[in-house]
Amino acid sequence: MKALIEAGVKPVDSYRPGENKRPWTFKEKLMLGLTPGQYLGQALRNPFNWILGLIFAVGLPLLAYRYLFGLGVVTHSSNDYPWGLLLGFGLFCMVPLSASGFMLGTTVEIFGRHDFEPIERLALLNGLLGYFFAVVYLLVDLGQPWRLAYPMVISFGPVAVLFLVAWHVATYLSVQVAEVSVAFFEWIGWLGGKRWVRKIAIGLTVAGIILSTLHQGALGALFLYSPGKVHPLWYSSAFQWILFFASSIPAGLCMVITVSTVIKHTMAWRCDRNFLDNLDYCTLGIAKGAAMGLFTYFFIKVIAVAHDNEWAYLATGWGFWWMFEMFFGVMLPIILFAYAIHHRLLWLVRATGFLTVLGICLNRLNTSLITFNWTIYQELPHIFEFIITITLLCIYVVVYRFILYRLPILYTWKEAPQEAVATEPVKTEPRVSAGTSTAPATSSP
Amino acid sequence: MSGISRRRFLAASAAGCVATTFAGSKKALAAGTFGGYPEGMGVLVDITRCVGCRTCEAACNKEQNLPDPERPFDDMSVFDEIHHGQQRRTNEKAYTVINRYEPTGSDQKVYRKVQCNHCAEPACLSSCFVNAYKKTDEGAVIYNDKVCVGCRNCMVACPFNIPAYSYSSAFDPIIKKCVFCYDTRLKEGRPPACVESCPQQVMTFGKRDDLIKIANQRIRNNPDLYVDHIYGEHEMGGTHWMYLSGVPFDELAFNMHLSNEPILNNVKDFLGTVPMVLAIWPALFTGFHLLATNKKNGHGHEEEESKHNDEGGDQ
């Protein structure tokens, strides 16, 4: 793609190719304004696509194998570990990493911090895709995925925490679709739809906060059903839901830092100045939020151990594993964030963001899989389960990239001028960002 | 400004109200205590009488039309089967299994029957998001496999690790567990197949309350033979299948760390916070929004603010 742009090709970023030309057709927009030959050429030149192709060549047949012959052929069919890696990673890790949508939505829409607007859409998209793929993982793991809608329409089990998770994830998914649809409406050129969604933006954002609070917490509360199965250090009858909710905040924020870092290095051609110039400033702000979130989480984590008087477990093997997780996943990121933010070392902020993502994932895997059944035995998931998990993650990356290439997430859409004047006087000009990028320190809180 | 705020506030509140209606039924569950099913039937398993003949396993297999076992029911080598350091457990092909134990300080072998304990307030039932499980008045915990989605939350929840899943089925996998022979026997007041088949009268079928009296009577009459504990009388809020043993229960791999409270009590606190979040968050965050986006003189946000207001104003 970089080579094509150097050769003078300009990817679609507006209503029409130039002055006095007809608007882009839908097909041209899909192809980024490239000719089929150019499009195929750039896809084939990208070595990452070859790696993806290799993974899909192994993973997709396995996925078909699972649907044709049942879960038994790709997992250990364990009755003691009903939830394996597909849920341990796919649901319990993907959902906290997708808390970014409601965090940045709240920052911009509720608290009116429009200086974070350049990264808001990326955070919303990250949330939407993360949730969507958590559901995709669920569809692979459920015994009868075609019954997914049963808790909504056929048979209600409102006592169950999972009922709450199902309803809230479904509702929140719709809320996020609405939030991201603004970018989609711009892209297809239906400004009426965009205006309508903007009108209910506050309502959507508040609904997002409510639903996120509850189901991020509910994922933790799911483990309240298994006291004794989850190791006491990862289990707290009083605080489990708060722990999951609190840790989802730094997880979601750090996921945005991580994704934006990858974008900055691999997809800079798709970003406009508004995004690139403000990225460092936004990253620092988000990192501050993440550091505070991590500290809160750390504090509650220690309170949870004290509350149940579990100090004695710290001297056991599981205790060392807990301290490993707490040190590398929580304490070290707090220290590194503090140092890096103070000295404005953006590379370190970004690396720490990634470390935090790994740390929170480790926490979820520890709770759902690694320390689960700690009194019985530990099970290593089937190799096919690993491959399917990685394959689904790659599909997530491909879909993510497909959308970022096209929708105005990283760049500002240049709308048809005559329509814009009539309907949307404030949104036509890209936000002036020179002030924030040259002196970010002055406008940070 | 006030007009916009009111409209926005109402929109947000409406979203909250819609969400509250969906969650309304959860609150009622947090109230009162549950007295159990005094008229419900149960079974008392007297482990001291069991000789490990596996007749009950065979009877169960026949009654429930389960597939043929890998090894016949008269093959006692199954007692040496160890998977992941564990003895046999219930699975999709066996709703009940007998395991052999060699307690310390005794050369006697002890046999323990494992099956669903039919809790008074079952964890599987309270964790099921499609309400597939049902505790019947007769005391059985049964389930409707027509609505089972296959999330396997009940397996995660069961403190006795009983429900199994038919992973091998591609198109109709469901939960599999002992149903107290509800459809074929219990409904008509007859004891389950395993109880009837037992040549040693290990199991006594009767009303749960009567069984507790019988168990206490046996312990009183033979204090040297029995451990002074009825496993299942209080565990997890009480179960309808209960055990008497001559050796400490933990020597027979009984989980002695279980609470006397049903699992549901563990989750009630969280369920109680749900309506509060639904009720408080809309006003709280809409309020934050109003506070945060009001005119902030001298903070460099006037430009965005005026944009914001214009955007709302011309709608």
Residues B307, A426: contact at Cβ < 8 Å? yes
Distance from CA of B178 to the nearest CA of A (A): 15
pLDDT at A36 over 90: no
B36 inside domain? no
Q: What is the pLDDT of residue B5?
A: 52
Per-residue pLDDT, B1:
40
Name the H helices within B150-192: 153-157
State whether B27 and B145 are in the same domain. Answer: no
- What mean pLDDT do residues A298-321 have? 94
Minimal Cα distance from B172: which residue of A? A144
Going by C-alpha positions, the residue among A426, A107, A206 that lies closest to residue B315 is A426
Domain for residue A75, yes or no? yes
Same domain, B249 and B167: yes
Cβ-based contacts of A110 with chain B (< 8 Å)? 285, 288-289, 292
Token pair listed for A323:
């301290």
Structure tokens at A435: 């002030």
Q: Domain for residue B56, yes or no?
A: yes
Q: Do B19 and A425 touch (CB under 8 A)?
A: no
Tell me the shortest Cα–Cα distance from B305 to chain A, in angstroms: 8
Counted domains in chain A = 1
Residue B289, domain extent: 2-31+267-313
Are B275 and B139 in the same domain?
Answer: no
Return the pLDDT at B84.
86
Instruction: Give the pLDDT mean for A75-98.
Output: 93
User: B114: domain CATH number?
Assistant: 3.30.70.20
Q: In this complex, how many residue pairs, one in chain A and one in chain B, have their CB atoms less than 8 Å apart?
A: 230
CB contact under 8 A, A206 and B16: yes
Task: Kindly state the greatest CA–CA separation across chain B.
Answer: 90
Q: What percent of chain B has pLDDT over 70?
A: 83
Q: Is residue B213 part of a domain?
A: yes
pTM over 0.90: no
> Measured between beta carbons, which residues in chain B are less than 8 angstroms from residue A214?
274, 277-278
Q: Give the CATH number for residue A79.
A: 1.20.1630.10
pLDDT at residue A252 greater than cutoff 80: yes
Q: Among residues of chain A, what percentage have pLDDT more than 70?
A: 92
Q: What pLDDT, in 10s, does the model give residues A193-210?
A: 888 888 888 899 999 999
Task: Judge: A82–B155 Cβ closer than 8 Å, yes or no.
Answer: yes
In B169-282, where do the E strands start and end?
A: 175-176, 203-207, 241-244
Check residue B242 and give its pLDDT. Answer: 96
CA distance A143 to chain B (A): 4
* ipTM at complex level: 0.84
Task: Say yes or no for a CB contact (<8 Å) between B270 and A224.
Answer: yes
* Average pLDDT rounded to a whole number, residues A264-285: 92
Residues A199, A190: Cα–Cα separation, whole Å: 15
B164 interface with A at CB cutoff 8 Å: yes
Looking at every residue in chain B, the average pLDDT score rounds to 85
**Is A111 at the interface with chain B, CB within 8 A?**
yes
CB contact under 8 A, B156 and A71: no
- Evaluate if residue A18 carries a pLDDT over 80: no
Name chain B contacts of A224, Cβ cutoff 8 Å: 263, 266-267, 270
Question: How many angstroms separate the CA of residue A418 from the nearest CA in chain B?
Answer: 18
For residue A395, the distance in angstroms to the closest alpha carbon of chain B comes to 23
Q: Quick one: B74 and B212 in the same domain?
A: yes
A9: in domain:
no
pLDDT at position A375 is 87
DSSP A283-294: HHHHHHHHHHHH
| b/e burial code for range B159-176 (CB count within 10 A of at least 16 → b) | bbbbbbbbbebbeebbbb
Using the Cβ of A202 and the Cβ atoms of chain B, whether some distance falls under 8 Å is answered with yes
Residue A236's nearest CA partner among A82, A91, A367, A357 is A367
Give chain B's domain count. Answer: 2
Residue A27 has pLDDT above 90, yes or no: no
In a domain, A31, yes or no: no
User: Which of B152, B278, B311 has its CB closest to that of A210?
Assistant: B278
Q: In angstroms, how far is the first alpha carbon of chain A from the final one?
A: 38
Q: Which domain holds residue A305?
A: 46-443
Return the closest-CA partner of residue A258 out of A330, A344, A366, A347: A347
Q: Do B19 and A71 touch (CB under 8 A)?
A: no
Per-residue pLDDT averaged across A334-355, rounded?
96
- Which whole number is the average pLDDT over B148-173? 93
- Nearest C-alpha of chain B: how many angstroms from A122? 20
pLDDT of amino acid A420: 43
Assigned domain for A365 exists: yes
Among A87, A106, A110, the strongest candidate for a mutation testing the B interface, having the largest count of B CBs within 10 A, is A110
Is B291 in the same domain as B189? no
Per the domain annotation, does B113 fall within a domain? yes
**Is residue B257 located within the same domain as residue B233?**
yes
What pLDDT was estimated at residue B192? 96
